[in-house]
Structure 1
Amino acid sequence: MGISILNILILSLLLNLSHSISSDSTKEALALLKWKRSLQNQNSSLLTSWTLYPANATNVPSYSKAKLSPCAWVGISCNQAERVISINLSSMGLNGTLQEFAFSSFPHLVRLNLSFNIVFGTIPPQVGNLSELQYLDLGSNQLTGVIPQEIGHLNQLRSLYFDVNQLHGSIPPEIGQLNLINELALCHNNLHGPIPPSLGNLSNLANFYLNNNSLFDSIPLVLGNLKSLSTLDLSKNQLSGSIPFSLGNLSNLGILYLYSNSLSGHIPSVIGNLKSLLQLDLSENQLSGSIPLSLGNLSSLTVMSLFSNSLSGFIPPILGNLKSLSALGLHINQLNGVIPSSIGNLSSLRLLYLYNNGLYGFVPKEIGYLKSIFELELCTNRLSGAIPHSISNLTELVLVNICENHFFGPIPKSLRNLTSLERVRFNQNNLSGKVYEAFGYHPNLTFLDFSQNNFYGEISFNWRNFPKLCTFNASMNNIYGSIPTEIGDLSKLQVLDLSSNHIVGEIPVQLGKLFSLTKLILNSNQLSGGIPLELGSLTELQYIDLSANKLRSWIPKSIANLLKLYYLNLSNNQFSQKIPIEVEKLIHLSELDLSYNFLDEEMPFQICNMKSLEKLNLCHNNLSGFIPRCFEGMHNLSHIDISYNELQGPIPNSTVFKDAHMEGNKGLCGNVNGFPSCKAFTTCKQASRKKWVVIMFSSLMMVILLICLIGSKVLFQQRKDSAKQ
């Protein structure tokens, strides 16, 4: 009997417990369904499993018939008691808010991941009710508003991701109460204000991301207490002041990003104590002083970026100890001295950027030891001497820029061995010789600029060796000969600049095959002949400068096909005949220069249809007739020069003509300084006409009188002769 009563009690307890579990599970299911109904895409195929099975349903798991449970739903995980412990709906295309999400219905929730959706609106303060939560990821959504201070109640939290949203306001100090947290990502928001010192209490924090916000003030010293920190990213904010020495305590730090702020002062030498450091980026700040020698102790360092500061002094030779370094960026500073030969020890180096400094002297031959390097940037320094032949050892080199220095002598012929080259800039040096001798087969070369040097000879490249060439700039050298017709085979060419050389002959019609060309710059040569009609086929052209040559004939009408053109300069040539009316089709043209030619007839009124025109120069031609009145409607026109032509009539009433150059046109009149008013001009012309009539009449009368006198004298003489007979 006693056993029977005990069995009944146990059975009753189990039934009550089962009912309790069923009730709690149903409560969670209903809460999830309520939130689903609030979503704008609640019928998403990804959430079709979110439904309640009826008791008499077939093909339903047996446990679902006894109670309403969400445990089999997509993204839902439960514990053994069938309570929801994880909601993982990342990248499910959800579109809605959290306002209908009943946080209090999930007391056992350990993990909530709604990242990479379109969750918008604010973060409800009720999120603080999830007392068991260890992982919270709302990143990569469209959340707005402030971070609720109730986040500080989640004392079991290990990971918090609110990154890539539109959150604003300050960082709540209460986050400093999350003693167990090891991942904190609030980056890519609109957060502002200082970094709360309370975050220095997060002793277990390993990865800390506050980058891409609007945080200001100084970096708190207490961040030096975060001894477990492996990643610290405070980049792209408005932080100021100096880098705190306390960061030297972060012995486990592997990544330190402080770039793109307003930090000032010196780089603390204690940074050299961070022996675990892999990446150091302090670029784009206002740091000054020299590079600390202690940075040479960072033997594990793979990336060092100190560019865009005001660092001075020399490059420490001890940096040659950083054998693991793959990227070294010291560009855009005020560094001086020579490039240390120890840089050749950086056998793992892939990127070396030293441009925009005050470095001088020779490039050390040891640079040829950098067998892994593929980008070498030395532009805008005071480097001199010859380009070292050892550069030919850099067979992985993709980019080599040594522009704006004082290098002299020829380019090493061994450069032809660097078949991986894609971008080459040797411009603005004192290099000489025949440039084509240094180049061989470069199938990936897209950019070649050796302008502003002393190269000479013809352009005798084997153009088939550069099938991908997009930009070719040989301007401001001593190149002579004609333009090779083979250039027309460079089907990918976008920019061709041969200006300021001694090139002769005609513009080859083969250039009409360069259908990708956007800029054609051939000015300041000795080119002759006309403009090939084929250039009208280059519909991608935006910029043409053929000025200062000996081009003649007329301006072809086909130029009107170049609808993307914004700059056209044909000045200082020998073009004649009239300006083609078809230029009106060049609606994007902002600058037109046809000056110093032999153009005649009237200015076409169709120019007024070029509404984008800002500068117009037609000076020193033989243009005649009136200035079209429609110029008064060209509101973008800011500069005009029509001086030294044969124009006449009234000057249009437009502000651009108030300061325009119009001298040398004797027939112009108007309300502009230096020109007579048209009324006075007309009166003067009428008076002149009357004076001319009087003079002509008087002259005619004198001629008649003279004829009469002569006639009378002849008649008198005849009569006298008759009387003598």
Structure 2
Amino acid sequence: MRSDIRREAEALVKWKASLASADGLGSWSLANSTRLCNWTCITCDSVRHIRGLDISLASVNGTLDEFDFSAFPHLKELLLYNTYLHGTIPAGIGNLTSLVKLDIGNTNVRGHIPRSIGQLKHLAELYMVDLGLDGTLPEEIGNLTNLKELHLSALSVTGPIPPSIGMLMKLRVLSLIGNKLTGSIPTEIGNITELQIMRLSYNYLDGQLPGTISHLRKLQELDLLNNQLEGHIVPELGNTSLLDSVGIAHNNFSGLFPSSICVGGALTTIAAGHNGFTGIHHQTFQNCTTLRSVDFTANNIVAELRDCNNFSGTIPSWASKSLPELNFLRLSSNMFDGIIPHQILQFRKLQVLDLSENKLTGPVPDDFTNFTGMAQEQDIDSIYPDRSSYEVQIHIVWKNVDYVYHLMIAAMAGIDLSGNFLSQEIPKGLTTLVGLRYLNLSGNHLSGYIPEDIGNLVLLESLDLSRNQLRGEIPQGFADLRSISALNLSTNMLSGRIPMGDQLRTLVDQSIYSNNPGLCGFPLEDCKNSPTPTQTETSLDEDKETLWLYCFVAAGFIFGFWLYWGIFLFRGETWRYLFYQYVDNMQAKVIKKMCSCMKRFQANGSE
């Protein structure tokens, strides 16, 4: 055996001996050194040097302190993820001068990122994810000029992003999610012209977005969620023809949303909620034929709904045509006013419509024929093959508590119009949207009755109609809501017996029916003077029979009376004949009229 190869074997055996446990490394033995390339977790090159070490599937517990990195000058891949390694990353890791891929993710490694990492001049992929690393990002990271993917996420590194990062000219993926980074995004980031994915979310970055970001013409995904970035977004952000996803929610951006964001026509997702945007140019989304998700929740946009976003004046004819793929539209917690335009119902694939907490007035539109995205249960696999990309947060206020639900938008279909000034009746067209999972119309001025066909919404899991002026009885169709798990009908003017159904029996909280003085039945007090549905039907049948009897008795008396006195009043045969003919005609008319009245009575009774 050549001395260099024997050195590799000896280094592995020595490291194995230092481990607290090394299950899966049983073949590592100097007695078996001639078959080094057959050892588990090892791959060799054509001249039998170790080129790959992957212990991710071995149950290894220990540190890297005794690992002789200098013994592996030909190592290309070092994969240590999903192990029980602990301790620190030794500075000797910089001796792996041929290394192309390094992955130390999801271990118990602590300490700092060693500055010697900058010696790995051939490194193309670096993964340090979900570790206990702290300290700062070393400036030497800029020496990794062959790097194509940099993943330093879910660590605890602090301080700024070093300007030297702009030297990574070949970088395609930059992911620094979930750290404690501060300061501004360096202007040098615009030098990474090959960058396709930039993920800097969940940090403490501040300042303005550098104008040099417009140089990233190959950028596909921009994720800056949950930082403290501020100011205006450069208008040239959308110059890239490949931009697919923009996530800038939960920052302090202000001013007009850039009108060029969709110039490339490839955009599918915009998450811009919880900022301070004050307006959106009416042509912003005119070329967004691929747009699926729009979220401007909790901004300061002031306008009529029909005058904002892709809605100019009355919604232009291109609105639904230019956004044919739109699935998710959230404009809640702004200052939109005016009526909900009927044209908003032209988005055929829309699954989630959230216009809550605005100042909208007028009726709820009544023609939902075009909402085919809500008219049936969603086929998740065909619409969203990559489900992990479509998780959203839904805020639901329940008993004055704001709950946050993490939902897969793929499976979600819902409408939230709560917290506005909408009036008139709940349109019956809503009951045709049988794919709905949640419906929230609370906190408006809706009146009239709850639609009888509400039971058609068999997939409905959450229904909130509270704080309106709804009256009358709760329809019997409520018993058909077999999926309902969250219900709130409080603070209305509802009356009568609460319908019973298998799923409704599980909703035992009385507060969901509170402030409706006329309601009774489970889970409230039993109805003392209100007949059950069976009793009502029996009573109605008896009333019909009694009415028929009274009608026939009265008719018989009247005609008998006139027949008797007609003999004395009309003694002449000709006069008697005319009189009896008149009585027969009158009887036919009365019977015909009675039959017509009874049919109407029966029809009203069946309803």
TM (norm. structure 2) is 0.76
Distance 1:326 1:471 in 2: 28
Secondary structure, aligned partner of 1:248: helix
Residue in structure 2 matching 1:34, options 14, 19, 35: 14
Secondary structure, aligned partner of 1:71: helix
Distance 1:48 1:315 in 2: 66
Distance 1:238 1:324 in 2: 32
Per the TM alignment, residue 417 of structure 1 is displaced from its structure 2 partner at its CA by 1.2
- Is 2:350 aligned against 1:336? no
Secondary structure, aligned partner of 1:452: coil
Long gaps (5+) in structure 1: 1-18, 55-66, 512-521, 530-725
Note the 1:491-502 alignment, pairs <5 A: 491-493=505-507, 495=509, 497-502=512-517
Does the CA contact (< 8 Å) of 1:255 and 1:280 recur in 2?
A: yes
Query: Residue type matched to 1:50 in 2?
Result: W
Distance 1:107 1:38 in 2: 22
Does the CA contact (< 8 Å) of 1:28 and 1:105 recur in 2?
A: yes
Per the TM alignment, residue 74 of structure 1 is displaced from its structure 2 partner at its CA by 1.8
Note the 1:275-294 alignment, pairs <5 A: 275-294=241-260
The residue that corresponds to 1:584 in the other structure is none
The residue that corresponds to 1:388 in the other structure is 365
Does the CA contact (< 8 Å) of 1:472 and 1:495 recur in 2?
A: no
Distance 1:320 1:439, change over 3 A: farther
Residue in structure 2 matching 1:448, options 457, 463, 466: 463
Does the CA contact (< 8 Å) of 1:447 and 1:470 recur in 2?
A: yes
Note the 1:415-426 alignment, pairs <5 A: 415-426=430-441
Distance 1:464 1:504 in 2: 16
Does the CA contact (< 8 Å) of 2:453 and 2:477 recur in 1?
A: no
Does the CA contact (< 8 Å) of 1:209 and 1:232 recur in 2?
A: yes
Per the TM alignment, residue 361 of structure 1 is displaced from its structure 2 partner at its CA by 1.5
Residue in structure 2 matching 1:48, options 6, 15, 26: 26
The residue that corresponds to 2:346 in the other structure is 369
Does the CA contact (< 8 Å) of 1:98 and 1:119 recur in 2?
A: yes
The residue that corresponds to 1:693 in the other structure is none
Distance 1:102 1:351, change over 3 A: same
Distance 1:443 1:390 in 2: 20
Distance 1:338 1:296 in 2: 22
The residue that corresponds to 2:109 in the other structure is 143
- Structure label with greater radius of gyration: 1
The residue that corresponds to 2:177 in the other structure is 211
Does the CA contact (< 8 Å) of 1:470 and 1:494 recur in 2?
A: no
Once superposed, what is the RMSD of the aligned Cα atoms?
2.0
Note the 1:639-658 alignment, pairs <5 A: none
Secondary structure, aligned partner of 2:39: coil
Distance 1:495 1:119 in 2: 50
Secondary structure, aligned partner of 1:290: strand
The residue that corresponds to 1:117 in the other structure is 83
Secondary structure, aligned partner of 1:68: helix
Residue in structure 2 matching 1:402, options 417, 424, 447: 417
Distance 1:204 1:492 in 2: 59
Secondary structure, aligned partner of 2:86: strand
The residue that corresponds to 2:195 in the other structure is 229
Per the TM alignment, residue 259 of structure 1 is displaced from its structure 2 partner at its CA by 1.3
Per the TM alignment, residue 27 of structure 1 is displaced from its structure 2 partner at its CA by 1.9
Per the TM alignment, residue 53 of structure 1 is displaced from its structure 2 partner at its CA by 4.2
- Is 2:152 aligned against 1:186? yes
The residue that corresponds to 2:330 in the other structure is 353
Per the TM alignment, residue 494 of structure 1 is displaced from its structure 2 partner at its CA by 6.2
Distance 1:320 1:466, change over 3 A: farther
Q: CA offsets per residue over residues 500-546 of structure 1, 9 Å max, x none?
A: 113255x44xx4xxxxxxxxxx6xx99879xxxxxxxxxxxxxxxxx
Distance 1:489 1:197 in 2: 59
The residue that corresponds to 2:402 in the other structure is none
Secondary structure, aligned partner of 1:241: strand
Note the 1:226-625 alignment, pairs <5 A: 226-314=192-280, 316-339=282-305, 340=311, 341=315, 343-345=319-321, 346-397=323-374, 398-437=413-452, 439-484=454-499, 486-487=500-501, 489-493=503-507, 495=509, 497-505=512-520, 507-508=521-522, 511=523
Does the CA contact (< 8 Å) of 2:208 and 2:229 recur in 1?
A: yes
Distance 1:434 1:317 in 2: 40
Q: CA offsets per residue over residues 455-484 of structure 1, 9 Å max, x none?
A: 110112323421111122111111112333
Distance 1:387 1:39, change over 3 A: same
Distance 1:190 1:504, change over 3 A: closer
Distance 2:329 2:283 in 1: 15
Higher relative contact order (CA 8 A, sep 6+): 2
Segment of structure 1 superposing worse, 156-165 or 242-251: 156-165
Distance 1:267 1:391, change over 3 A: farther
Segment of structure 1 superposing worse, 408-417 or 226-235: 408-417
Distance 1:471 1:501 in 2: 18
Aligned residues: 479
Secondary structure, aligned partner of 2:112: coil
Query: Residue type matched to 1:441 in 2?
Result: N
Long gaps (5+) in structure 2: 306-310, 375-412, 530-607
Secondary structure, aligned partner of 1:29: helix
Q: CA offsets per residue over residues 323-350 of structure 1, 9 Å max, x none?
A: 1111111111011212312553311111
Q: CA offsets per residue over residues 567-592 of structure 1, 9 Å max, x none?
A: xxxxxxxxxxxxxxxxxxxxxxxxxx
- Is 2:45 aligned against 1:79? yes
Distance 1:228 1:338 in 2: 41
Per the TM alignment, residue 390 of structure 1 is displaced from its structure 2 partner at its CA by 3.2
Percent identical across equivalent pairs? 33
Per the TM alignment, residue 291 of structure 1 is displaced from its structure 2 partner at its CA by 1.1
Secondary structure, aligned partner of 2:126: strand
Does the CA contact (< 8 Å) of 2:454 and 2:478 recur in 1?
A: no
Distance 1:527 1:452, change over 3 A: farther
Does the CA contact (< 8 Å) of 1:76 and 1:86 recur in 2?
A: yes
Per the TM alignment, residue 449 of structure 1 is displaced from its structure 2 partner at its CA by 0.6
Per the TM alignment, residue 25 of structure 1 is displaced from its structure 2 partner at its CA by 2.1
Distance 2:433 2:234 in 1: 40
Q: CA offsets per residue over residues 392-437 of structure 1, 9 Å max, x none?
A: 4313222111001111111221212111111110001111121133
Secondary structure, aligned partner of 2:451: helix
Query: Residue type matched to 2:120 in 1?
Result: L
Distance 1:51 1:371, change over 3 A: farther
The residue that corresponds to 1:719 in the other structure is none
Query: Residue type matched to 2:183 in 1?
Result: D
Distance 1:468 1:160, change over 3 A: same
Does the CA contact (< 8 Å) of 1:25 and 1:69 recur in 2?
A: no
Per the TM alignment, residue 131 of structure 1 is displaced from its structure 2 partner at its CA by 0.8
Query: Residue type matched to 1:28 in 2?
Result: E
Distance 1:420 1:430 in 2: 26
Per the TM alignment, residue 219 of structure 1 is displaced from its structure 2 partner at its CA by 0.6
The residue that corresponds to 1:610 in the other structure is none
Query: Residue type matched to 1:41 in 2?
Result: S
TM (norm. structure 1) is 0.64
Does the CA contact (< 8 Å) of 2:424 and 2:447 recur in 1?
A: yes
Query: Residue type matched to 1:39 in 2?
Result: L
Distance 1:375 1:95 in 2: 47
Distance 1:274 1:27 in 2: 51
Query: Residue type matched to 1:344 in 2?
Result: S
Secondary structure, aligned partner of 1:294: coil
Q: CA offsets per residue over residues 117-140 of structure 1, 9 Å max, x none?
A: 222211000000011111111112
Query: Residue type matched to 2:244 in 1?
Result: L
